[in-house]
Amino acid sequence: MAAIDHAFSVEGLTKTYGDGPSKVYALRGLDLRLPRGELVVLLGPSGCGKSTLLNILGGLDAPTSGRVLFGDAELTAHSDRELTRYRRDHVGFVFQFYNLIPSLTALENVMLVTDIAPNPMPAEDALALVGLQARMHHFPAQLSGGEQQRVAIARAIAKQPTVLLCDEPTGALDSTTGIVVLQALSDANRRLNTTTLVITHNAGIAEMADRVLYMADGRISDTRINTHPLSASDLSW
């Protein structure tokens, strides 16, 4: 099977922290292939290694052993400089906390990315994609939590990333607001064909995914394909 058909091919990934009796196994020989363009939800209990996996796929962290291919490029053979370039050119991140710059407007926060990315869309377009065209000139403190998270999504997708990695993007939001945020992620995935990985411990969210990965104890324990994913507005949780 050609690795090039996949956004990521992961083989035998392990990650340990510490040494001796306090050694922690975060990943224990994880294998995974993610086809391009899918919206993938990764479910699993706290501590099973979800964030560790996302950080390695995003080039923020390196594994202890194993291989990660991004297309046909081996991330695990990259230098720090190459990993920085990979992150800058190809990866959008969305985290639980929005990390917006308080002294900049929504538009200016997104422009921090579009000013340096090689192939960005206009910052205004990214904000329109998440339904915030009327709020562009607001500062983060003038926006609700859900609106701030949508600015963070606009910032992540404005560079037109190959992959969008989201770690508990609705973790700080109530369910009504969370659904609006998930709809924004889903729209971005469909319109830009960005391979999108969403980590959550909320099983209800899985119904909107093309593919659901279940993680337990540092490995992928099961995979499910949804032939008819639900729209975010039809989720119940």
Residues making contact with Mg ion (CB under 5 A): 50-51
CA dihedral 168→173→175→176, nearest 10 degrees, is: -130
Spatial contact of 136 and 108, defined as CB atoms under 8 Å apart = no
The correct pick among 7, 10, 26, 91 for binding ligand ADP (CB under 6 A) is 26
- Enter the DSSP assignment of 26: E
Spatial contact of 231 and 186, defined as CB atoms under 8 Å apart = yes
Q: For ligand ADP, which stretch binds (CB under 6 A), given 46-54, 86-94, 101-109, 123-131?
A: 46-54
Between 50 and 159, whose beta carbon lies closer to Mg ion? 50
- Furthest-apart CA atoms within the chain: distance in Å: 55
Question: Of these partners, ligand ADP, Mg ion, none, which one is at the site of residue 63 (CB under 5 to 8 Å by kind)?
Answer: none
Between 111 and 166, whose beta carbon lies closer to Mg ion? 166
Q: How far apart are CA 235 and CA 237, in angstroms?
A: 7
**Is residue 225 near ligand ADP by the rule CB under 6 A?**
no
Between 51 and 114, whose beta carbon lies closer to ligand ADP? 51
**Is residue 49 near ligand ADP by the rule CB under 6 A?**
yes
**Is residue 219 near ligand ADP by the rule CB under 6 A?**
no
Q: What are phi and psi of 222, to 5 degrees?
A: -165, 155
